[in-house]
Amino acid sequence: MNQEARIGKRIFLVFAMALSVVMVSFGHAFAVNLLQNPHFNGDLSGWNAGTSTYDAALDATGVSGSGSAQSVFNATQPSTLLSIDQCLTNFVPGQSYYFGGKVYMPSGQSVQGTGAVVVSWFTGNDCATGFISYAQVGTSFGDPTGIWTPLDHAQVTIPANAASVWVSGQNGIAASGTHQTNFDDMYFSDTPPTPPAPVPAMDEWGMMLFVVLAASGSVYYLRKQRRAKS
């Protein structure tokens, strides 16, 4: 095998290794999530927002250009407000899924409240007809405020006769008054969630391999150019 062939083989091997690492890296960076715009990147598109608004200043992971859904509930008695919701039909009936999100309740509010993520399933494909059952994860009254609280992922098995799943964020209030809850990083997926990455990126090993690949490619190209000129 001549020198040029050996260099070509090395470049191919390095490229194959780098590609495998990159694929693993991207697999960790993105969790399977059936929800549209789950991190509220720039707006509330994909969601029925009701009275909720986009809060550009508050993001659960501090990602620039992202934000959260802000729900302000003015109530005359203890009750719960539907803050955001989304109807899903792109799931497999009978399969298990994980759901959850993160909630933020500012400190110093005059009334205690809660934040919850609720999933309900229906026999109709409109998230309104033929209610079957529901499940939820949420905070409790008196839980810490002023921090993002992750709602531990819950696993549910969707009934075989379900045609739609309704995913919602709900703002609860303990008494008459005003209560704010923000929602972010919502998910409904067939695998447990992974933290969202600000920028899709490979890990340090992937970066090292790509540096090696780039250097090897440059050397090979320069040698080939010299041969062509001689």
For residue 76, the domain's CATH number is 2.60.120.260
25 part of a folded domain: no
pLDDT band at residue 11, thresholds of 50, 70 and 90? low
pLDDT higher than 90, residue 15: no
Cα–Cα dist 196/194, whole Å: 6
For the stretch 52-60, contacts whose Cβ atoms lie closer than 8 Å and that sit 24 or more positions apart, written own/partner, are 52/83, 52/84, 52/183, 55/182, 58/104, 58/182, 58/184, 59/184, 60/102, 60/104, 60/148, 60/184, 60/185
166 part of a folded domain: yes
Backbone CA torsion sign across 139, 171, 80, 163: negative
124 part of a folded domain: yes
Nearest CA among 42, 37, 51 for reference residue 86: 37
Could you give the number of structural domains in the chain? Answer: 1
Question: Quick one: average pLDDT of 36-49?
Answer: 97
pLDDT band at residue 25, thresholds of 50, 70 and 90? very low
Domain that holds residue 184: 30-189
| Token reading at 206 | 């992937």
pLDDT at position 26, please? 44
pLDDT higher than 70, residue 140: yes
- Which of the two residues, 94 and 22, has the higher pLDDT score? 94
| Token reading at 123 | 């026999």
Instruction: Name the burial class of residue 135, with classes exposed (0-12), middle (13-18) and buried (19+) by CB atoms within 10 angstroms of its CB.
Output: middle
Whether the CB-CB separation of 86 and 177 falls below 8 Å is answered with no
65 part of a folded domain: yes
Question: Quick one: average pLDDT of 132-153?
Answer: 94
Question: Quick one: average pLDDT of 2-16?
Answer: 53
Question: Per mean pLDDT, which range of 39-43, 122-126, 197-201, 212-216 is the poorest?
Answer: 197-201
7 part of a folded domain: no
93 part of a folded domain: yes
pLDDT higher than 50, residue 28: no
85 part of a folded domain: yes
